Amino acid sequence: MTQVFIDGSSGTTGLRIRERLEGRQELTLITLPEESRKDPEARRNALNSADVAILCLPDAAAIEAVSLITNPNTIVLDASTAHRTAPGWAYGFPELGSGREEAIRTSRRVAVPGCHASGFIALVSPLVEAGILSPDARLSITSLTGYSGGGKKMIAEYESEGRSPLLDAPRAYALPQHHKHLPEMKALTGLHTLPAFLPIVGDFYSGMLVTVPVFREDLLNGATIEDIRRVYQSRYRGPIVSYRENADESGFLSALSLSGLDRMDVSVFGNEDRILLAARYDNLGKGASGAAVECLNLVIGAAPETGLRLV
C-alpha cells in the first residue's frame, strides 16, 4: 500500500487531488486533523511517514515542508512555484520528451508545472527542439484562466455577494511583467529571452486557453505552418496531451472546453504568414491537480488517468 500525504489538502489544488485519490484502493491517504494541519511537528511526522508527499502550499510553506523531510525514501511532488527551476528537481511535464518521463519516474523530487507555463511550454518547447523556432525568438503569450487559479482567496472574491462589478469582465494582471511563471517558461523552452506575458482571469471557475502568435519570419529554415502541425502531431498523441485539428467551436475557442479534465489539447490556427499556437486545458487539471496526479501515477507505476468531465 502506498502512503500518500497531501500537505495543504484543504486548499483548492490539494482538495481536488484528495477527492481524486480517495477512491484509489492501492493508496492510503495520511490525513491530519483540522487543528493540526498547519502544525510543523504534525506535518513533519506525516511527511516522513509518506511514500509520496504532495505539496499544495504557498511557496514558503512548500520550502519549509521540504526542509522537514529527513526520510530519504519520501518522494516529493511540489505543486508550488518554489522548485520548478531548482537543481535536483525533475520538471513534471512528461510529454516534453527528451527523457523527462524517465526523470520523473526515477526522481525523488518532482516540481509540478505552473498552470500558465504549462501551455506555453507545451507549445514552444517542441518547436525550439525541432529547429523550427530559434531560441532567440521574441514571443508573447496570452493566457486566459478561471478564477480558481488564484486559490481560496480569489475564489472567495469571485463568489462573494456584493463583489465588484469589475469582476464581471475578464481582468488582465501581472502587468509589470514579473509573473512567477516566467522563469520556468524560459528554462523549459530554451528561449534566450523571457516572453511578454499577459495572463487574464475570467468569471468562470476553471479552464484555460493559452495562445502564442508566431510570424512566418520567426520560423527557421523555411519551415511552414504544416511543419509545426507535423511536430505537434508526432509529439502529442495522448492520452493526456493531444494534437487536435479543427479544434475550434465554429470559429471560437472557449477556455472552458476541457474544464474538469486532466487533458490538454494543442492546436494550430491562422495562415502561412500569421500562425496562432493554442493550448486548452484546466488550470486545476493539467495546470495543477491533474498534473500532480499524472506525476504520482508515474512515480508509483500506475496507469494514466484523464480526469472527470465537469462541463
Ligand X SMILES: NC(=O)C1=CN([C@@H]2O[C@H](COP(=O)(O)OP(=O)(O)OC[C@H]3O[C@@H](n4cnc5c(N)ncnc54)[C@H](OP(=O)(O)O)[C@@H]3O)[C@@H](O)[C@H]2O)C=CC1
Ligand Y SMILES: CC(=O)N[C@@H](CCC(=O)OP(=O)(O)O)C(=O)O
Q: How far is the CB of 100 from ligand X (least distance, A)?
A: 18
Residue 148 in the binding site for ligand X (CB under 6 A): yes
The C-alpha atoms of residue 183 and residue 254 are separated, in whole angstroms, by: 27
Nearest distance from residue 192's CB to ligand X, in Å? 26
Q: Is 283 in the site for ligand X (CB under 6 A)?
A: yes
Candidate list 2, 5, 6, 11; residue touching ligand X; CB under 6 A: 11
Looking up cell 519520501 gives 74
User: What is the C-alpha to C-alpha distance for residues 270 and 256, in angstroms, rounded to an integer?
Assistant: 21
Q: Does 12 participate in binding ligand X (rule CB under 6 A)?
A: yes
Cβ-Cβ contacts under 8 Å for 111 (sequence gap 6 or more):
78, 82, 83, 84, 86, 89, 90, 91, 92
Q: Which does 201 bind (CB under 5 to 8 A by kind): ligand X, ligand Y, none?
A: ligand Y
Is 120 or 243 the residue whose CB approaches ligand Y more closely?
120
Catalytic pick among 52, 53, 115, 127:
115
Distances, alpha carbon 254 to alpha carbons 146, 263, 266, 269, 282, in Å: 11, 15, 13, 14, 11
* Contact flag: residue 285 with ligand X (CB under 6 A): no
Residue 43, C-alpha cell as written in the block: 506535518
40, 150, 183, 213: which one binds ligand Y (CB under 6 A)? 150
Pick from 141, 288, 293, 295: which binds ligand X (CB under 6 A)? Answer: 288
- C-beta neighbour count of 20 within 10 angstroms: 18
What gap in Å lies between CA 140 and CA 147, rounded to an integer?
22
Which of ligand X, ligand Y, none is residue 13 near (CB under 5 to 8 Å by kind)?
ligand X
DSSP 255-281: TTTTTTBS-EEEEEEE-SSEEEEEEEE
One of 57, 69, 96, 296 touching ligand X (CB under 6 A): 57
Residues binding ligand X (CB under 6 A): 7-8, 10-14, 37-38, 56-59, 61, 79-81, 114-115, 148-149, 151-152, 283-284, 287-288
